[in-house]
Structure 1
Amino acid sequence: MTARSSTPAAVLAAAALLTAPGLARAADDASCATVRMPDPGWTDIASTNAFAGLVLAPLGYEQRVETVAVPVAFQGLKTGELDVFLGNWMPMQADTVDPMTESGDLAVIHNNLEGVKFTLAVPNYVAEQGVTDFSDLAEHADQFGQQIYGIEAGSSVNQKMKDMIASGDFGLTEWQLVESSEQAMLAQVERAVRGEDWVVFLAWEPHPMNTKLGMTYLTGGDEWFGPNLGSATIRTVSRKGFAEACPNLGKLFDQMTFTVDMENTVMAAVADGSGDFSEAAEAYVKEHPGMLDAWLEGVTTLEGEPGLPAVKTGLGLE
């Protein structure tokens, strides 16, 4: 009888110790210590991944970034081989993502960036010749070589553009989509700009191309890219059960929000040779340390210590 009555007391004593002020509490299980994140080779995701890595390290987590194509990234989240992706562009990726969220294979954590642009564009000198709308493309087919430059094969937006071409909208049925990496596409566009050749290409903001190229977004593509020049929301998504298994990380990623200016600043610094993405992200945070307050509210280290002072100490801000 005595032995049975002592068990509740022991449990209560342990609970009191765990909740006592000033004592460390394990925030996440050790299995959460490594955070696997994809990078499709996009400059904007390299920037946001760098911000995440900057915070994760002093919190005691290891960030492992894997360079994979977008379809592989979503498949990796579905199979549990990847944990968190900061680059779910909506509504452009809806055909891929919506079935995964409806089936429970993918979890939406947070809208991390609002109001971005994502549609076709031309250099300013082409726009000055009267090409400002999707409907203007067909009459200049020869000057464009009947080509639209897109990003990597298998991406949702490339399929959307193929469907647009095949549909007969805008009279582009004889046109070809040129698929390549972001870097290869932009290299081709830059070559065209140097020679003032005509080129139409997939463009988006945030990205340094917006200031580097001198470009004009085309109107009239609302049916295919959405209104307001393809205005998009970027979401943070994760593998099934990630936030439940790793609640501290779930809280961090739920609070990690970016701005167009923030990402543009980091990408421009890298493009200008001022450092790599991690260095550029660190420089931005040190100039705007207040952003950490919102990101780290209620977040702890892996060992359960307060997260904000740990990160500030790790970045030399305290």
Structure 2
Amino acid sequence: MHKIATAVFALALTTTAAQAADPDAQCSAVKLADPGWSDIASTNAVARLLLEGLGYQVKIDSLAVPIIYGGLKDGRVDAFLGNWMPAQQGFHDKFIANGDVQRLSRNLEGTEFTLAVPDYVWNAGVKDFADLQKHADQFDKKLYGIGSGAPANLSLKEIIDKNEFDLGQWKLVESSEQAMLAQVDRAVKKQKFIAFLGWTPHPMNVKLKMHYLTGGEKWFGSKGEVFTLTRKGYSQACPNAAKVLANLSFTLDMENAIMAEVVDKKISFDEAAKAWVKQHPERLQGWLSGVTTKADGNALEAVKAKL
């Protein structure tokens, strides 16, 4: 009987030790996702700077938006800083509303995301979605979107499929953000008509003379917000790392500045984010409030030492 009790006690100790090690194994690497958008590359870079300064490893996978949501549901992605609303309302209804994916915090407000046109197209009278069909031949009946599966593309497809604004014969051209903007640049140089997905924050708002069309509020909203999402139970499993992510909030000016630095100086997003934080160290206080290093040390000192 004594031997059995001893064996049970030893097994309990082993089980307890394994359970105690689980949170560390689960939380030491923070898995983020990037759909290939410059704004999310910027915010991910800030998150990486803070988390690595605190002793975490950060892994960022480039994934299409639907794959990101599936990864959050399945636990293969820990967090996503790019839940643009209301553009991603469909994904919200499918994954967040039922609790499969959890909304952690709002990280940005005042965004815009809808069709845009260059200034010379705007001056020619294209100021609303309803104006597009009036100039169908000049546009070659094409709308230029971003990567396949992006929520904004799905909204444009719905508009076309339902013949909203008499656009039923138009075609959506899907490509990467960079390829779409390269197409816009080519059109602008030739002063050709083009309608494309635009959003702020993004350097395009500085680089291009552009205007956002009205009329698409049903699908894109007016002013929007961006939220940070996590896999279900992440805040309970990894409270310190989750607290960092929950604290992260940004401004349009900040994100535009980081992205412009990348474009103008041909540097990485990590380098641009680090340079911005070095110039604005006062932001660290709020971002690291209630946070420690992974080893339970002083968070502010640890991150400052990495700058």
* TM-score, with length taken from structure 1: 0.88
CA shift digits 1:73-93 (9 cap, x unpaired): 111111111101000111111
Select the residue among 244, 253, 258 that pairs with 1:252: 244
Q: Which residue is equivalent to 1:73?
A: 68
Aligned counterparts of 1:31 and 1:179: Cα–Cα separation in 2: 37
Range with greater deviation from structure 2 (100-109 or 280-289): 100-109
Aligned counterparts of 1:135 and 1:91: Cα–Cα separation in 2: 21
Q: Which residue is equivalent to 1:283?
A: 275
Q: Alignment partner of 2:267: what SS?
A: coil
Select the residue among 174, 179, 187 that pairs with 1:179: 174
The answer to whether 1:293 aligns with 2:285 is yes
Aligned counterparts of 1:168 and 1:219: Cα–Cα separation in 2: 17
Q: Alignment partner of 1:180: what SS?
A: coil
| Equivalent residues in 2 for 1:111-150, closer than 5 Å | 111-150=106-145
Q: Alignment partner of 1:85: what SS?
A: strand
Select the residue among 156, 159, 174 that pairs with 1:161: 156
Q: Which residue is equivalent to 1:99?
A: 94
Q: Which residue is equivalent to 1:13?
A: none
Select the residue among 172, 180, 190 that pairs with 2:185: 190
Count matched residues: 286
Select the residue among 29, 34, 47 that pairs with 1:34: 29
Aligned counterparts of 1:187 and 1:198: Cα–Cα separation in 2: 14
- Deviation of 1:169 after TM superposition, in Å, equals 2.0
Aligned counterparts of 2:128 and 2:206: Cα–Cα separation in 1: 20
Aligned counterparts of 1:198 and 1:104: Cα–Cα separation in 2: 43
Select the residue among 254, 257, 266 that pairs with 2:258: 266
Q: Give the aligned residue type for 1:57.
A: E
Q: Which residue is equivalent to 1:242?
A: 234
Give RMSD over aligned pairs. 1.2
Q: Give the aligned residue type for 1:180.
A: S
Structure 1 vs Structure 2: percent identity of aligned residues? 52
Aligned counterparts of 2:119 and 2:97: Cα–Cα separation in 1: 42
Q: Give the aligned residue type for 2:157.
A: K
Gaps of 5+ in 1: 1-25
Q: Does structure 2 retain, via aligned residues, the 8 Å contact 1:274–1:280?
A: no
Q: Give the aligned residue type for 1:290.
A: E
* TM-score, with length taken from structure 2: 0.91
CA shift digits 1:180-223 (9 cap, x unpaired): 11111111111101111110001000000011111011112112
Q: Which residue is equivalent to 1:314?
A: 306
Q: Which residue is equivalent to 1:59?
A: 54
- Deviation of 1:102 after TM superposition, in Å, equals 2.9
Q: Does structure 1 retain, via aligned residues, the 8 Å contact 2:51–2:244?
A: no
Aligned counterparts of 1:216 and 1:94: Cα–Cα separation in 2: 24
Gaps of 5+ in 2: 1-20
Q: Alignment partner of 2:257: what SS?
A: helix
- Deviation of 1:274 after TM superposition, in Å, equals 4.7
Q: Which residue is equivalent to 1:208?
A: 203
The answer to whether 1:302 aligns with 2:297 is no
Q: Which residue is equivalent to 2:80?
A: 85
Aligned counterparts of 1:297 and 1:30: Cα–Cα separation in 2: 24
Aligned counterparts of 1:86 and 1:285: Cα–Cα separation in 2: 18
Q: Which residue is equivalent to 2:104?
A: 109
Q: Does structure 1 retain, via aligned residues, the 8 Å contact 2:54–2:293?
A: yes
- Deviation of 1:224 after TM superposition, in Å, equals 1.9
